[in-house]
Amino acid sequence: MVRFIVAVVLVAGLTACQTEDPPVVNLSTQNVNDTRIAKTLFGAAPVASAQMSEAIGGYARGCQAGAEQLDETGPTWQAMRLSRNRNWAQPETLDFVRDLSRFAATQDGWKGLYIGDLSQPRGGPMLTGHSSHQSGLDVDIWMLPPARLDLSVQEREQISSVSLRRAAGAFTNDRWTPQHEAVVRAAASDPRVARIFIFPGAKVAMCNSATGDRSWLNKVRPWWGHYAHIHVRLNCPDGDSGCTNQAPPPPGDGCADAQDWVDRILNPAPRAPDATPPEPRPELTMANLPGQCLAVMNAN
């Protein structure tokens, strides 16, 4: 808890102006004019809200109530970068992590999984890094096969995952193994999973090697980065009426789309000399999040 003293002080300061008995308001509209920067508030919260577990809003514009913390070390996993305090998620997400790590531990040379970022204690936008991971349903899984599961806190800050890409992500390198594909396939075959993000060359490699039932490939989607970890996104849990699912992937195995990504990497379109760089995204304010997120932020 020493790591979170600063965060506790920040939250105390942010909530000092709140009354003991806040007025009863419509949760859908209560923060419509709230221009406070959301990541400042959610990034300072050191613990989860004392509420019923619920994923709220979307993956890139939401929060989570009643989150649970993944144990720093389990029988078949270790949570990495503990100083970030991002090993919080919805119960379904933690169940998935435990299940997939048990499968990974059956693979030759793997003791289980190293788990990267899940979400902040109350979800919401992060101070640094991800634009998603806001509703407790996203998890980053390192592609470094764990040789041991007794890393110290300091070691978990210093160790890094391993890159599996070659040629800027157009191909896999010699670190990519059948065990990596087996872990991805197991994750994609789980009905709780909505989609998995990985670099294009890995998707094409799996398209070329997959035999039998190929339906799981539909959930594996190419995306920039994601060459040292996979990003697993779960569906909204049953009963979470305030949770917003991402649109399902297009029908089919997605292999042609992945090949298009590879082709564009190998033969990039020339950039116009007068092209205007994209405008930076504005910071999300509390008004940009579902109204329930203010209640999550103010809880206990």
pLDDT at 93: 98
HEC secondary structure over the chain: CHHHHHHHHHHHHHHCCCCCCCCCCCCCCCCCCCCCEHHHHHCCCCCCCCCCCEEEEECCEEEEECCEECCCEECCEEECCHHHCCCEECHHHHHHHHHHHHHHCCCCCCCCEEECCCECCCCCCCCCCCCCCCCCCEEEEECCCCCCCCCCHHHHHHCCCCCCEEHHHCEECCCCCHHHHHHHHHHHCCCCEEEEEECHHHHHHHHHHCCCCCHHHHHEEECCCCCCEEEEEECCCCCCCCECCCCCCCCCCCHHHHHHHHHHHHCCCCCCCCCCCCCCCCCCEHHHCCCHHHHHHHCC
As assigned by CATH, the class of the 2-268+288-298 domain is alpha beta
Other Cβ atoms within 10 Å of 299 Cβ, number? 14
pLDDT at 30: 58
How many angstroms separate the CA atoms of 70 and 159, rounded? 19
pLDDT at 19: 35
pLDDT at 17: 36
- Residue extents of the structural domains in the chain: 2-268+288-298
pLDDT at 300: 83
pLDDT tens, the chain, 300 aa long: 434 433 433 333 333 333 333 333 334 445 778 999 999 999 999 999 999 999 999 999 999 999 999 999 999 999 999 999 999 999 999 999 999 999 999 999 999 999 999 999 999 999 998 899 999 999 999 999 999 999 999 999 999 999 999 999 999 999 999 999 999 999 999 999 999 999 999 999 999 999 999 999 999 999 999 999 999 999 999 999 999 999 999 999 999 999 999 999 999 988 877 778 888 889 999 999 999 999 999 998
Other Cβ atoms within 10 Å of 270 Cβ, number? 6
CA atoms within 13 A on the CB side of 34: 23
Provide the token pair at 50: 């004392």
